[in-house]
Amino acid sequence: MSVGSSLLRMRVLFRPHLLMLLDHPHRAVHTSCAAFAGHNKWSKVKNIKGPKDEARARLFQKLSMLIRLAVRDGGPNPELNTNLANIIEQCRSKSMPKASIEAALTCAEKIKSSYLLYGVRGPGGCTLLIEILTDSAKRSSNDIRHLLNKHGGQLVDGAQHSFVKKGVVAVSSENRSGSTVTLDQALELAIEAGAEDVQEEEDENEKMLLKFVCAVPTLHQVREKLNSLGLCTVSAGFEFIPTFSAQLSDEQMGQALQLLEALRNNLDVVRVYDNIA
């Protein structure tokens, strides 16, 4: 065991929510302020879904858009496009039909789409990033502006500076042997896998996930290492991680939820990121 790992264990024991000291001076594995998002009110309400059939259709639509976006950025061959391979595997884990996956791949090669990234100031001063894939930038811009005006948001410049793009590997908190992986154990696994951060979060079914955050170029290696360590990958891909969190009142959270749901329901919106604690 390295000196860094021993120190990490000591600090996990006494100060589990603070920055952890590692054996590599240029990499920090830590639990961030978002690590306990699964236990707060926002993480519970923001994942509320509609009827199951509607939610399933919406999920497949968004996965198809992620396929199109991945093909646009890295080409249609999963063997040469790691991000696309990760998304296809995520589609399969969500029981997306093979025909739908193939249709999305075909569509991605035939249809030329524009990628847009909008920064938004939301209720209570929270910040949102909206990823859009569209065949009409003008239509999408008008639609987004209408939703923002209706739900108390506005487009702002510089919002992207409140986020950093990272690789994220989400795994079940239960490993292949059926044992629960604690946050302390996940921190040690993160060191071994080369991840920078570990966060806890509940999914829409209130099941706990462990999210290993890493540098974009190391996503594939981190995922493979975590799998070799007996963890069960739920998804892997690139996300915008907030660099700081916004605290909202109950009323502001309700307004933010309405805005988030309205944006999610827009057909051109791929994903929405927020910095709400």
Q: Delimit the domains of the chain by residue range.
A: 3-45+163-242
Rounded mean pLDDT, 152-157: 96
In this model, does residue 17 exceed pLDDT 50? no
Single out the residue of 169, 190, 166, 175 nearest to residue 235, CA to CA: 169
Residue in the structure block whose two tokens are 């919106």: 269
Q: Are 155 and 116 in contact (CB under 8 A)?
A: no
* 160 close to 117: Cβ distance less than 8 angstroms: yes
Confidence bin at 8 (pLDDT 50/70/90)? very low
At residue 124, the pLDDT reads 96
Percent of the chain scored above 70 by pLDDT?
81
The CATH code for residues 3-45+163-242 is 3.30.70.980
Which stretch of DSSP H or E encloses residue 84? helix 82-93
Helix, strand, coil percent values for the chain (each to nearest 5): 45, 25, 30
Q: How far is CA 88 from CA 67, 98, 113, in A?
A: 7, 10, 20
14, with CB counted inside 10 A (0-12, 13-18, 19+), is exposed
Helices 219-228 + 183-193 axis angle, to 10 = 120
pTM, two decimal places: 0.75
Residue type, 195: A
Three-state DSSP at 205 gives coil
Averaged over 204-216, what is the pLDDT? 89
Q: Please state, as a whole number, how many other Cβ atoms lie within 10 Å of the Cβ of residue 220.
A: 16
What's the chain's Rg over C-alpha atoms?
19
Q: What is the pLDDT of residues 56-85, one digit of tens each?
A: 888 899 999 999 999 988 899 999 998 899
Residue 9: pLDDT band with limits 50, 70, 90 = very low
**Structure tokens, 55:** 């939610």
Residue entry with tokens 């590599």? 24
Instruction: Report the pLDDT averaged over residues 117-127.
Output: 97
d(CA 202, CA 260): 17
